[in-house]
Amino acid sequence: MGELVLNVNGKPYTVNAPTEESLLSVLRNHLNLTGTKYGCGEGQCGACTVLMDGAATRSCSIPAAAAAGAKITTIEGLEQNGKLTVVQQAFLDEGAFQCGYCTSGMIMSVTALLGNKHASNEEEILGAMNGNVCRCGTYPRILEAIKRVSGHATGGGAL
């Protein structure tokens, strides 16, 4: 057991956990941040994606100790003052989810992709989203939501 200080969603948390415990487990079981999901446990499905210093990171495959000192953002940390981000709103508007299990990981990956820029083309979007699995198969709606936010929607520019 070790005492870890994690910066999650802009707040410092002191957690007493084994140093090899995954960041996903610490987020869910110690901090009760359950929006980040366990999918495959191997970093392949994307359900556990969080932002670590702005980069999409598979939280199931990184020890919590390795995240100490990093700025971690979970799906719970995106909305501000009750207002969804443009990515979250686009997913909602496009109905880009069915069961919703993969949605938080998808949104976190899109948020990392877009950062402060627009995706240059569909190929870049698909490359960045490779590894985010939606078992319900809502990929067309997910792609439309991402295009909408990145300014590539058929009907116009960014939200």
Q: Output the six-digit token pair for 103.
A: 């949605």
Domains and CATH numbers, the chain: 2-76 (3.10.20.30), 86-150 (1.10.150.120)
Q: Which residue has the tokens 């870049």?
A: 124
Per the CB < 8 A criterion, the answer to whether 132 and 110 are in contact is no
* CA dist., res. 157 & res. 13, Å (int): 39
Tell me: pLDDT of 151 over 80: no
Q: What is the largest CA-CA distance in the chain?
A: 54
Tell me: pLDDT of 140 over 80: yes
Note the pLDDT tens digit of each residue in 97-139: 888 899 999 999 999 998 866 677 888 888 889 889 998 889 9
Tell me: pLDDT of 3 over 50: yes
